[in-house]
């Protein structure tokens, strides 16, 4: 494997609406991010991914882009962005933007022009397709519920539909049209020329369509089939577009790119993230894939620790020797990792440290999602009205339509909802958690008085300082090579223990985390050096003793 500039880096995701508000309107913004750059630096972050800040009607919280080359006024201006970029670089960090090009917003000029004139150049940027048998062209279900097809606005009386894999307000862009692809390359290069380091690439597994729109056998009682199943079918063909995107944009800029793509198989991995891959890396979304194989929140099931571990380990083993993965335990699309993947008795600071130990020493570029570094848990929502996410509302209504009670329908949204991770960042114990001087756009996490950055910043035993220690360990001169390039090897103990090795040239690092209530006594093969531990784990000679949530990291020199 070739060595790349971004190997060994630590990334951090900012959800801009909820990170830091600078002007009291209750919504996070670019000046707010600027004010917190020293905080990110202190944590040890190298690369900052900012979720979409482009002009948007925010139907899907900015993942519906109305103008790719302007900043939405709620976040500030392009001048603010330039200042943010300069300040970030001055601190030795980089910014990557969110590239949302499977679809745009129905408010984008392209879509407006396309609807106004079906013979325009812009009409060719979308999938405008004739109906079939008096209905939609096929039976795919959108990611946010209902058919992926709707009548073209202004042409409701015609037998003509446009495609949207996500919300109605997110029309899919037609990648089979070279003119559309040119527009995208131009825009991507414009951002890269500005000096951003690269992109997180949204929903990129969705861009390859079967232009005969054949549909798929129904997977639920609505007679529809989830669009993700069509994506899986088309996955092997994605390279046709992605290689061109790489050659025209990312490669000449030596950009760092991380793709959101589900189901990469071993066969295609080299093409995706090998030395000359389409992307630098891909998120490890394997846990979510298992959960989201079910058609709706009603059937979603949380993973056991063993399932969680098997997902992560499967990905790690697949990437060994081919390229780097981007391990995550949470992002803006998932509940908080500590609430979702740890047993209920570890839905706390101990669990946050345990899961951090697992995540931060895996092979790849770990991504930390804002608030994860202080151990934020799921938010308690008391009514569906407190959920802002359109996806949760759709799932709620679906459950209600199937006879579920309000309480039960709310419970599944609270357990699986994306808003769990989208509530404002908790900076201090003041009224609005130091996030804003106004009224936060979204509910504050229930524990904000005690669970916040201020309470943890100077506390040696805090989750925050444990994250700092893990990052410092990864970056330490002595262990950098092993923790960056060392192969991953699973270690089997029992179903409640997550243990693995990193095999470096001059050392092996062993990571052991116990998630059972019962203590674990574990004998290592040789006597090692304890590099870091959490939750009172201890090591004497070859004997490791790990209580509930205990984690230990040991080095064995060769």
Which residues here bind ligand GLC, judged by CB under 6 A? 60, 63, 100, 166, 202-203, 260, 332-333
DSSP 8-state class, residue 249: I
Residue 107 interacts with which of ligand GLC, Ca ion, none, CB < 5 to 8 Å by class? none
Adjacent-strand bridge partners of 557:
507
Least spacing, CB of residue 9 vs ligand GLC, in Å? 21
Query: Annotated catalytic residue: which of 60, 98, 202, 419?
Result: 202
* Contact present, 511 and 497 (Cβ < 8 Å): no
> Residue 558 and residue 541: Cα distance in Å, rounded?
17
Nearer to Ca ion, 20 or 242 (CB): 20
Interacting span for Ca ion (CB under 5 A) from 18-26, 110-118, 166-174, 309-317:
18-26
Q: What are phi and psi of 481, to 5 degrees?
A: -60, -50
Contact partner, 166, from Ca ion, ligand GLC, none, Cβ < 5-8 Å per class: ligand GLC
> Which of Ca ion, ligand GLC, none does residue 63 bind (CB under 5 to 8 Å by kind)?
ligand GLC
CA–CA distance, 406 with 397 (Å, rounded to integer): 10
Helix/strand/coil for 417: coil
- Residue 29 binding result from Ca ion, ligand GLC, none, given CB thresholds of 5 to 8 Å by partner type: Ca ion
Q: Tell me which residue has its CB nearest to ligand GLC.
A: 63
In this structure, what token pair is assigned to residue 183?
């527009």
138 binds, among Ca ion, ligand GLC, none (CB under 5 to 8 A by kind): none
Q: Which of 210, 214, 227 is nearest to 262 (CA)?
A: 227
* Residue placing its CB nearer to Ca ion in the complex, 77 or 307: 77
Expressed in percent and rounded to 5, the helix, strand and coil fractions of the chain are 35, 20, 45
The tokens of 420 are what? 């769990």
Closer residue to ligand GLC (CB): 101 or 544:
101
For residue 492, the minimal CB distance to ligand GLC (Å) is 33
User: Does the annotation mark 83 as catalytic?
Assistant: no
| Residue 14 binds to Ca ion (criterion: CB under 5 A) | no
Question: Least CB distance from residue 65 to ligand GLC, whole Å?
Answer: 9
Whole-angstrom distance, CA of residue 130 vs CA of residue 114: 15
**Should residue 23 be labelled a site residue for Ca ion when binding is judged by CB under 5 A?**
yes
Nearer to ligand GLC, 260 or 395 (CB): 260
Other CB atoms within 10 Å distance of the CB of residue 20: 23
Question: What distance in Å separates the CA atoms of residue 101 and residue 104, rounded to the nearest whole number?
Answer: 7
The tokens for 32 are 């707010």
Q: Report the residue count for the chain.
A: 558
Give the residue with the Cβ less far from ligand GLC, 60 or 150. 60
* Binding partner at 445 among Ca ion, ligand GLC, none, C-beta below 5 to 8 Å by kind: none
Q: Which is nearer to ligand GLC, 166 or 308 (CB)?
A: 166
Alpha helical stretches, state H, 150-265: 178-194, 227-234, 239-245, 251-253
Instruction: Please say which residue, 29 or 98, places its beta carbon nearer to Ca ion.
Output: 29
Shortest Å distance, C-beta 424 to Ca ion: 11
* Contact status: 27 vs Ca ion (CB under 5 A): yes
> Which lies closer to ligand GLC via its Cβ, residue 63 or residue 68?
63
- Determine if 312 is a binding residue for Ca ion (CB under 5 A): no
* Residue 202 annotated to the active site: yes
On whether the CB atoms of residues 101 and 182 are closer than 8 A, the answer is no
Choose from ligand GLC, Ca ion, none: what does 203 bind? Cβ within 5-8 Å by kind. ligand GLC
Contacting residue, 25, 222, 270, 333, with Ca ion by CB under 5 A: 25
Q: Among 28-36, 61-69, 403-411, 492-500, which window interacts with Ca ion (CB under 5 A)?
A: 28-36
The one segment of 22-30, 54-62, 181-189, 308-316 that binds Ca ion by CB under 5 A:
22-30
DSSP 8-class letter at 264: -
Contact flag: residue 21 with Ca ion (CB under 5 A): yes
Is 30 a binding residue for Ca ion by CB under 5 A? The answer is: no
By beta-carbon proximity to ligand GLC, the closer residue of 60 and 94 is 60
CB of residue 394 vs ligand GLC: minimum separation in angstroms? 12
Write down the least CB distance from residue 166 to ligand GLC, Å: 4
Supply 427's token pair: 């900076």
CB 163 within 8 A of CB 238: no
Q: Which residues of 97-134 are buried (b: 16+ CB within 10 A; e: fewer)?
A: bbbbbbbbbbbbebbbebbeeeeeebbbbbbbbeeeee
Q: Which stretch binds Ca ion (CB under 5 A): 19-27, 60-68, 109-117, 340-348?
A: 19-27
Judge contact between 250 and 333, C-beta under 8 A.
no
72 lies in the binding site for Ca ion (CB under 5 A): no
Task: Give the pairing type, strands 497-503 and 507-514.
Answer: antiparallel
User: How many residues of this chain interact with Ca ion, rule: CB under 5 A?
Assistant: 5
Given the residues 260, 350, 373, 395, the one annotated as active site: 260
* Position 84 contacts Ca ion (CB under 5 A): no
Closest CB to ligand GLC among residues 424, 549: 424
Whether 273 and 324 have beta carbons less than 8 Å apart is answered as yes
**Least distance from C-beta 51 to ligand GLC, angstroms?**
8
Token output for 556: 């064995």
Classify each residue of 470-485 as buried b or exposed e, where b means 16 or more C-beta atoms within 10 Å of its C-beta.
Answer: bbebbbeeebeebbbb
H-assigned helices in 208-360? 227-234, 239-245, 251-253, 266-273, 286-291, 305-319, 337-341, 349-360
C-beta separation of 467 from 43 below 8 A: yes
At 438 the three-state DSSP class reads: coil
Q: Which stretch binds Ca ion (CB under 5 A): 7-15, 21-29, 235-243, 358-366?
A: 21-29
Task: Name the binder of 25 from ligand GLC, Ca ion, none, CB < 5-8 A by kind.
Answer: Ca ion
Pairing of strands 160-163, 149-151: antiparallel
Q: CB–CB of 185/178 below 8 Å? A: no
From Ca ion, ligand GLC, none, which one binds at residue 308 (CB under 5 to 8 Å depending on kind)? none
Residues of this chain that interact with Ca ion (CB under 5 A) are 21, 23, 25, 27, 29
As annotated, the active-site residues are 202, 260
């Amino acid at each position: 494997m070739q060595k790349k500039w971004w190997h060994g880096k630590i990334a951090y995701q900012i959800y801009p609406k909820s990170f830091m508000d600078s002007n009291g309107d209750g919504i996070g913004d670019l000046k707010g991010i600027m004010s917190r750059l020293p905080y990110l630096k202190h944590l040890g972050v190298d690369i900052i991914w900012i979720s979409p800040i482009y002009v948007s009607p925010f139907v899907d919280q900015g993942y519906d882009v109305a103008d790719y080359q302007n900043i939405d006024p709620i976040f500030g201006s392009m001048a603010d962005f330039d200042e943010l970029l300069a300040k970030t670089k001055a601190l030795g960090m980089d910014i990557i933007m969110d590239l949302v090009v499977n679809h745009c917003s129905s408010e984008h000029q392209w879509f407006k022009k396309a609807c106004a004139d079906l013979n325009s150049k812009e009409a060719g940027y979308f999938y405008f397709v004739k109906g079939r048998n008096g209905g939609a062209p096929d039976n795919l279900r959108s990611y946010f519920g209902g058919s992926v097809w709707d009548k073209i606005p202004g042409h409701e009386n015609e037998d003509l539909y446009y495609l949207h894999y996500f919300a109605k307000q997110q029309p899919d862009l037609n990648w089979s049209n070279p003119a559309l692809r040119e527009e995208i390359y131009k825009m991507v290069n414009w951002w890269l020329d500005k000096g951003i380091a690269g992109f997180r690439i949204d929903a990129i597994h969705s861009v390859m369509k079967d232009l005969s729109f054949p549909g798929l056998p129904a997977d639920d009682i609505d007679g529809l089939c989830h669009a993700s199943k069509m994506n899986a079918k088309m996955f092997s063909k994605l390279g046709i577009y992605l290689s061109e995107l790489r050659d025209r944009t990312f490669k000449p800029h030596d950009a760092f790119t991380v793709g959101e793509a589900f189901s990469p198989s071993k066969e295609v991995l080299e093409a995706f993230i090998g030395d000359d891959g389409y992307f630098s890396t891909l998120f490890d979304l394997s846990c979510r894939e298992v959960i989201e194989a079910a058609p709706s929140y009603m059937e979603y099931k949380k993973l056991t620790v063993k399932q969680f571990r098997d997902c992560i380990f499967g990905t790690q083993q697949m990437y060994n020797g081919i390229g780097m993965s981007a391990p995550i335990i949470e992002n803006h699309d998932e509940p908080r990792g500590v609430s979702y993947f740890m047993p209920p008795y570890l839905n706390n600071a101990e669990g946050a440290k345990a899961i951090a130990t697992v995540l931060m020493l895996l092979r790849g570029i770990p991504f930390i999602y804002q608030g994860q570094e202080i151990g934020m848990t799921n938010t308690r929502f008391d009514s569906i009205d407190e959920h802002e996410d359109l996806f949760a509302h759709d799932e709620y209504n679906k459950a209600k339509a199937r006879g579920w009670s309000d309480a039960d329908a709310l419970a599944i949204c609270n357990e699986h909802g994306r808003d769990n991770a989208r509530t404002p960042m908790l900076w201090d114990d003041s009224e609005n958690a130091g996030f804003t001087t106004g009224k936060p756009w979204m509910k504050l996490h229930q524990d904000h008085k005690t669970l916040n950055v201020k309470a943890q910043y100077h506390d040696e035993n805090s989750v925050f300082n444990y994250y700092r220690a893990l990052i410092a360990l990864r970056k330490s001169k002595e262990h950098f090579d092993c923790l960056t390039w060392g192969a991953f090897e699973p270690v089997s103990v029992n179903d409640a223990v997550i243990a693995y090795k990193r095999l470096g040239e001059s050392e092996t690092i062993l990571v052991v985390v116990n998630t059972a209530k019962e203590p674990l006594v574990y004998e290592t093969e040789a006597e090692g050096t304890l590099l870091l531990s959490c939750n009172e784990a201890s090591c004497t000679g070859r004997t490791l003793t790990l209580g509930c949530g205990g984690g230990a990291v040991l080095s064995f020199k060769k």
